Amino acid sequence: MLAKKKLVAFVATQQPKRAKRFYSDILGLRLVGESPFALEYNAGGTMLRVAVVQEAVIAPYTVLGWDVADIRKAVKGLKKKRVAFQRYPGMGQDDLGIWASPSGAKVAWFKDPDGNTLSLTEFSRK
């Protein structure tokens, strides 16, 4: 029933001004709508609604991720914009915080201003 329908992604913010700077200026997403209820972005053809909430409940796992062709380049670009990448004990991440998964995918995690965990993944294209 929904297989051919467009997906809308959601993430919550208590701080819409900070979220707007982060998603627009740091991540470079195009803002397509703004209301007291949400910031709406075009994220590679998917609508991302950054919902304005009174209290954000932060998930202990990744809530949004991007498929990138060159993760090292993407991580370095975000680091230049002062994005801090997460390090997790026992993950064996490299100098940039990139983890090589058993499947061959490479993953790096970072947080938005509200503490939502976001990721970059360079999938193994075998």
Class of domain 60-126: alpha beta
- pLDDT of 126 higher than 90: no
Q: Residue 95: what pLDDT?
A: 96
Distance CA 59, CA 17 (A): 21
Burial 46-58 (b: 16+ CB within 10 A, else e): ebbbbebeeebee
**Bridge-based pairing state of the strands 106-111 and 99-100:** antiparallel
The residues spanned by each domain of the chain are 8-53, 60-126
At residue 54, the pLDDT reads: 97
CATH topology of domain 8-53: 3.30.720
pTM: 0.93
Judged against a pLDDT cut of 90, whether residue 125 lies above it is answered with: no
Cβ proximity of 19 and 29 under 8 Å: no
- pLDDT (tens digit, 9 = 90+) per residue, 79-113? 999 999 999 999 999 999 999 999 999 999 999 99
Residue 36 structure tokens: 């007291």
Q: Please, which residues have CB within 8 angstroms of residue 108's CB and are 6 or more apart in sequence?
A: 71, 74, 75, 85, 86, 93, 96, 97, 98, 99, 119, 120
